[in-house]
Structures are given as C-alpha cells and as structure tokens.
C-alpha cells in the first residue's frame, strides 16, 4: 500500500464522463479490478476509483461527476497534483477460458484495463443514452446497447462473465451466471480496511468490500 503525490497529465471528456490521466510515479497499476483512493481537492475524504487504463508511465481513471468530490477531480488540469493511494483490494481472476466482459454505465471503468489483460476479450456494454454510450469506444471488441434494451439480454450462455456496473445489473448478472466475477461499489472513507464504512453482505455477513472485494464471485 503506497500513497504518492502524482501530477495530472490530462483530463479528457468521454461522453458525460471524464478520463483523468495522471503520471504514475512509482505506483504500480495492480490487477484489473483493483482500485485507488484519489485525493479530491478541497474535500476531506478521497474517492475510490478503479483503474481504467495503464498507459506507459500513467494511470488513467474514468470518472462520473456526480458529487462534490468527483466534480473536483474532473476539474483538475494538467500539472495539478493529487495524492493517490493504491492499488487496493482484490482484482479479477484472469485465469478464465471464455471471458466475456459485461459493463453498465460508469461501471465500464475497469473494463479497458481488463480487456487489455485478457487480450481483447469480447464485451457487452449497456448505457442509458447514446451520449453515455460514447464511452464504449474505450473498450475494444464491444457490443453496445442503450436503454430500454438491457445489457443482460446480450449475455450468451457458457461464458466466464466478468462484470461491473450498477447494483441491479450485477444482481441480474448474478442470476444469469452464478460463476461470474462481479466488481461492486460502496461508499468508502479509506479503502484499506480502517473505516468499516464499505460493509456489504458477503456470505450472509456484513464485511468490508475494500478488503474482501471489490471483485467477488457471484455465488
């Protein structure tokens, strides 16, 4: 676990989202599905973000500006500094035979890095609008749908599903593919097991998502 002051390389718009690229410093990119805590300027607590890309010398995060912290992150400019802690948590198990990436909305964030690790595995992505679906260009080899069609309608049988998206989507994927690996989200203050804020029900018990996850087996 390492925390470092990193420098912003660029902030790029991707549909309604923002791709925040920072110089990597000495931080390791970690495994797809692992996450980092990003200092949000002017806010007390950092924000958890899974790694979207690991270009040479950089770390890139896809951010949806939904609150004061994510707005502050999206407002950063080239040369600005921010503290980054990570990589944290458990990523996806890459030892799969027939991978299929499933993403919904901002939940596609970890999929570009995952797709690269799985050498361009196929993906199915769902978005709420064409504007949001512009982010699909970040994921190679992707089939895209927009509401009212649901991404779960695009999942064929017999695939090793690796999914990230909103909770209702993950619940639906869990029913379709009990062996799926699902990347969950929860409010976190620390990201390293200190605050107990990110408790979710795992095996019938409330446990810390940052320590046990964020990637969990569906069943």
Partner 1 sequence: MLLNASGCLDALTAPDVARSLDVFVTKTVTPLPREGNTPVRIAETDVGMLNSIGLANPGIDRFVTRSLPQLEKLGVPVWVSVGGFEADDYAEICSRLDDEAEVAAIELNVSCPNVEAPVENVTRIVAAARLATRKPLWAKLSPAVPDIGEVAKAAQTAGADGLSLVNTVRGLKLDARTLRPVLEPGQGGLSGPALKPIALAAVASCYRATAMPIVGMGGIQDGLDALEFIAAGAQHVALGTVLFADPDAPSRIRIELHAAASERGWNSSDDAYAIAHEESLSLRTT
Give CA 20 to chain center in angstroms: 13
Q: Are strands 99-104 and 160-164 parallel, antiparallel or unpaired?
A: parallel
For partner 1, which is the closer residue by CB, 78 or 194? 194
For partner 1, which is the closer residue by CB, 37 or 121? 37
For partner 1, which is the closer residue by CB, 45 or 96? 45
Interface residues toward partner 1, by CB under 8 A: 1, 3, 37, 39, 43-46, 69, 83, 85, 186-190, 192-200, 205-206, 211
Number of residues that make up the chain: 219
CB of 72 to partner 1, least distance (A): 12
For partner 1, which is the closer residue by CB, 117 or 211? 211
CB of 44 to partner 1, least distance (A): 5
List the end-to-end C-alpha distance of the chain, in Å, as a whole number. Answer: 29
CB of 195 to partner 1, least distance (A): 5
CB of 39 to partner 1, least distance (A): 7
User: Which residues face 81 on adjacent strands?
Assistant: 7
Contact 45, 189 (CB under 8 A): yes
Gap between the Cα atoms of 125 and 26, Å rounded: 33
């Amino acid at each position: 676990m390492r925390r470092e002051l990193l420098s912003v390389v660029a902030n790029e718009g991707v549909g309604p989202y923002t791709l925040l690229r920072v110089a990597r410093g000495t931080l390791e990119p970690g495994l797809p599905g692992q996450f980092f805590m990003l200092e949000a300027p002017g806010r007390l607590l950092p924000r958890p973000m899974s790694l979207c890309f690991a270009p040479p010398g950089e770390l890139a995060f896809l951010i949806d500006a939904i609150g004061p912290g994510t707005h502050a992150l999206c407002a950063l400019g080239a040369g600005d500094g921010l503290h980054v802690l990570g990589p944290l948590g458990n990523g996806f198990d890459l030892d799969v035979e027939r991978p299929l990436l499933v993403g919904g909305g901002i939940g596609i964030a970890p999929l570009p890095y995952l797709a690269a690790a799985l050498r361009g595995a196929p993906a199915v992505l769902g978005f709420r609008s064409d504007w949001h679906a512009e982010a699909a260009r970040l994921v190679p080899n992707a089939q895209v749908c927009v509401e009212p069609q649901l991404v779960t309608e695009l999942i064929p049988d017999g695939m090793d599903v690796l999914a990230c998206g909103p909770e209702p989507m993950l619940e639906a994927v869990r029913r379709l593919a009990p062996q799926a690996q699902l990347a969950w989200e929860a409010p976190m203050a620390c990201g390293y097991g200190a605050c107990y804020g990110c408790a979710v029900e795992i095996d019938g018990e409330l446990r810390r998502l940052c320590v046990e996850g964020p990637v969990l087996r569906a069943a």
